[in-house]
Structure 1
Amino acid sequence: MTVKLDFEECLKDSPRFRAAIEVVEGDVSELETRLEKLVKQCHSMLEAGRAYCQTSKSFVTGLKELGQHCSGDNMMGECLEKFSQKLEVILEAQGEVIETTQKSVKLKLQSFVKEDVRRFKDVRKEFERGSESLEAALGRNAQAPRGKQHEVEEASHALLNARKTFRSGALDYVLQINVIEAKKKTDILMAMVSMMEAQSQFFQQGHQSLSELADYRRTLSEEHTQLVLNSAREKRDMEQRHAAIKKKDVSYDNSLMDFCADAPNGIAMEGYLYKRASNAFKTWSRRWFSIQKNQLVYQKKFKEQPTVVMEDLRLCTVKVCADNERRFCFEVVSPSNKLQTGLNMYWLKQGDTSVTAGFESLTERCSSVSGSPGGGVFGDQEKTGGREALEQVQAIPGNRQCCDCGEPGPDWASINLGITLCIVCSGIHRSLGVHFSKVRSLTLDSWEPELVRLMCELGNTAINRIYEARIDEITIKKPHPSSPRGDKESWIRSKFVEKKFIQKLPETGRNIPLRRSSALRNRANTQERPAGSRPPLKPKPNRATLPRLPGLNQSDIFQKNTGIHKDGEDDDDDEEEDLSGLHPGALLYRSAALQHFPVMADALAHGADVNWVNTAEESSTPLIQAVTANSLAACEFLLQNGANVNTADSNGRGPLHHATILGHTGLVCLFLKRGADYNARDHTQKDPITIAVEAANADIVTLLRIAKMNKEMREMDGAFGQPGDETYQDIFRDFSHMASNNPEKLKRRSTDFKT
């Protein structure tokens, strides 16, 4: 410790001591002033540092958000992510420097001023008070009269006490002076050393953090240089194109739009057209028209749902409106009575009374269903059919919320998956392609009865049990209605395209025996097979019929899968059948015969070939199995998922042959609408028409001949022939409606028709 004042001088109380005290007191006073100023400056620096760090953190957050926005650009996204991370590390280190400065400088110096300097001032006051007392005592002792002994003694005694008090206070004061001088050095030096250590560590950490990006910064600089060159080149090219276009006369646009049927976005042609309203004023409005998926649609704004003008342009013709006062007017005309007129002319020329009788019988029964002779059952349903379909489909468990995001009241559907969707998810499903999802509106589109029946057999709950079976294991968060479109699209692609959440084979989880529902059993019992019809072609499955997945004990489950005991006795009383371990194709094959739609969907989700061929059963397919079970909805489900309507078995019989042999008129109607070949011949060289005539089935004969006549009329019209007429379509709609709602009206009646 450096001794500022000597204690001996203190006891002498010499002028040198007094002069030294004055110097020390001046130094302490100036030190106090400077320290107080430094503490205030340190406080301001810390507040400014904290504000800087807070603002810098906001800036780094902005960089991160910009990086997320530029996630599509790999270079930009990576650059912003790396730099924001390093800046965040540097800001954290700077925050630590601020906290260190707070503890080492501000608090230390503030404590020195408030405690040590204050203690020095208190001791100085005691010293000054003792010095004044000593001066007074000395004066009274010098003035005491010699003759008054008691005054002399009293003055001497007071002087002695005052001298003791003064010397004690002086010694304490000198000690405090020396202590504060020494502590001044230690406290200030320690504060400065701590602060400089923190600063050094901060800069070293920042340098190390930024040095890690040295190679990346050099690479980024090179890429930036190349980008500058490319931008300059592109700018020059654009300026040249701009100058070339400005030289052209753009006052009148005489360009022709090309028609591209295979456009990547599905839009074959688009542009602005004026349309005339159907109201009383017949006003003309400019709208953006497009041709997509063979439909003519228009919309006013981009985000609006397009309005469908024509469902299928392939059925329509374009006619110039010469009588309209406007120029360039045309109208799109759909076929109305062409097929009816053609049929009448054909019958008059051919004199085919059998077809006439069959058609009259057909229209008579259709009239009893629709309530208007010759009119289709959808005659009054074009406007209300969508709403009825919405109510029926939404009544299925789980269908009142979107299958993918849970938004209530979905009014869109995927007909091949059997689920309901909100408008956002339906757009994402549409972008997947029809081989994954076929989207249709529950309110805007017309619905065929077999499609409504199919939607009622599945539903969101059943499909999500399949496609979200492992969602709890993978712990992926399912999107909600307010989630961004990107999150929903990622979820839907993972769910239906990549199939990340389904149970993996061979642990498919099909260990629970399957039983046909009571509704399916009742429906099968009520549909009696007409007399003289051919029995089902499918025998009971055996070991060779249904291939199974490896790793499972086939002998233990053979009895459950086939219903046959090991001793050969057939167990027909039990309708339960264990399908666990079946190959996906075999599972689809067997569940189609059982009309178990969730299992069919499960098989397709696990990669079953919808056209799988069972070589052990005359090369039969799942579609033929559904025909044997007389399930209109099962056939529709397989067709919507890509089943080939013309795939024949080993006897050359396709689904249309089997439906004709079994007398399933509704299925014949369905297959004809889906493009079945009515001229195909089986191994006996018989086509479906011949089989229907031999079976005396007037309804099927009429349907087959009407389809044949319609094709002949199209061929007579040449290359631009119409693919169908409203009357022709109404006939098949009526049969579809009866097959779904009044199947008893389609039973064979041999008295209606004679060969």
Structure 2
Amino acid sequence: MKMTVDFEECLKDSPRFRAALEEVEGDVAELELKLDKLVKLCIAMIDTGKAFCVANKQFMNGIRDLAQYSSNDAVVETSLTKFSDSLQEMINFHTILFDQTQRSIKAQLQNFVKEDLRKFKDAKKQFEKVSEEKENALVKNAQVQRNKQHEVEEATNILTATRKCFRHIALDYVLQINVLQSKRRSEILKSMLSFMYAHLAFFHQGYDLFSELGPYMKDLGAQLDRLVVDAAKEKREMEQKHSTIQQKDFSSDDSKLEYNVDAANGIVMEGYLFKRASNAFKTWNRRWFSIQNNQLVYQKKFKDNPTVVVEDLRLCTVKHCEDIERRFCFEVVSPTKSCMLQADSEKLRQAWIKAVQTSIATAYREKGDESEKLDKKSSPSTGSLDSGNESKDKSLKGESALQRVQCIPGNASCCDCGLADPRWASINLGITLCIECSGIHRSLGVHFSKVRSLTLDTWEPELLKLMCELGNDVINRVYEAKVEKMGIKKPQPGQRQEKETYIKAKYVERKFVDKYSISSSPPEQEKRIVSKSCEEKRLSISKLGPGDQVRVPPPSSEGERQDSSVFLDSKHLNPGLQLYRASYEKNLPKMAEALAHGADVNWANSEENKATPLIQAVLGGSLVTCEFLLQNGANVNQRDVQGRGPLHHATVLGHTGQVCLFLKRGANQHATDEEGKDPLTIAVEAANADIVTLLRLARMNEEMRESEGLYGQPGDETYQDIFRDFSQMASNNPEKLNRFQQDSQKF
């Protein structure tokens, strides 16, 4: 150890020794100031850090509150809960860091200042005191006269004792100085090293925490990409809905005239009416009335319990009231009391009177047929939504969808780069993709590619069957037909830039599609051959009158393919006609080929009443074909010259699965054909109970969402469950929905 002050110089008490002491004492004084300042800064930092932890904890609690508030959204709730838990861990790590900082900096250095520097100061005081005593002894010894022997001896003895004491204390002081100088290095470095190790541990803990959270955040980011696309789509739908609602005539409430005795919620009709009080003043109050559960009730506020006006509608009558001054009045009379009501218009009065009369008749019929209905509910032959023994088969999700789709030829590797085990898919193209290629596809826009996860998303049965009808091999035979001829090499996994260029050229510019020569219009003979089978079916449908039974063959299974020998080579057709023909044939590869060649998915055949490929898919009886066209932008509401859209044709033919699909995809069931019939009217005339149920449920759900302002939302869980059951049945057990067609052929 290098000595700061030499012991030999200490014994000499030389000027060098005194100069060294002066330098050391000044240095120690400055060291004390620096350490005091550092300790105070450390205390301020710790206090600030603790305040940060408190604020951070409050912020984290706010995230947890938001997560609990979002309990109806599983993705948001799960994500926020996981993030808040991670932030809580980080707060704990910060707390540990500040505790270790307090021990390593504040406590350790403060102890060094209080203990070691205090010992130095005490030794310095003793040294200064004995040094002064030594100086006094030297002066006194020097002043003693030679002839005073007694004083000489006394001064000599004092000087000797003082020098001995000085040497002892001076050596202790020098030892204290040297030890202090050595210890200061170890104490400062030890303190700072401990502080830095605390930071190292803190950052390691944070890194480990977020390394575990990383995969989840990555998956969530992929979901967010899809949510952004879905949000844009929902925004467009809401804007369209807003525009549609804005164009409606709200000058009266006549649009609310419809009533439904078979309403799922038991409410036959509801709306505002004025009610005359039974008091002496006969005041009129506006109340919300409804006919439900065989009763007439009203409410003042939504949260109020309904007040019953008529206990049992079977015991009452309803009649017009023209003998009072107010207009549009009618009276509901029961054996015990009567209730005077007023509507806002004559149409509403007539609607309410008819609703009450119909409910009275229904109440009588329900009581008389109660036992018969119980028998029908337990019988599978009624065609009800639930057979009683059959459990609901929910939509496929996760590994089930992944395994089924990857079994299709070519789907075990990415369609564009060949990477094994792809977990993403383009649902309108029918291909599987790796995560990097799926991101590039998503950037193309949904009009080119609609991306979904095979493991994270829920798959509807018709969409899963669509994926199984196509596949990477089928699509690549179309979109990569000229790759080898052009000498183009497919990009390899990891080549992001090359992938973007290749995918854009493949799907947007369609550079690799074998664009054969296509005539702008097919020969007349070809048109006749192509349209013969479709026209026969169309003529049989167009001749139907009110109440006529539909006598057409039931739709064939999805795997069955119609005989295409009546059709000519598709290479002589224009893309629109090729798509039109293939839609009737249920030939998805040909349909994909036609779209790749530029076919308009909404192409209308002027030779056949301007029918569209989607209408042809309905006539062909294929649910998957309809789904493929809809996923590629087919207009579900485009009608032919007879004013019939896909929903009309599906209703006429009794294709329940297609009706369900079109309603889910936003078909307008209020549209009427040239005879003024909407799909519900057609279904009621044909006595098709399943389709009537679907149409009424959809209409009720639409009215409920409009009345509650829930535009763009799917509706309640019962409505969704029923439609999900029909979708499952149409895709997996279509024979159960053929009851109507089979019954109709008996006549």
TM-score normalised by L of structure 2: 0.47
Higher Cα Rg, which structure:
1
TM-score normalised by L of structure 1: 0.46
More relative contact order, 1 or 2 (CA 8 Å, 6+ apart) = 1
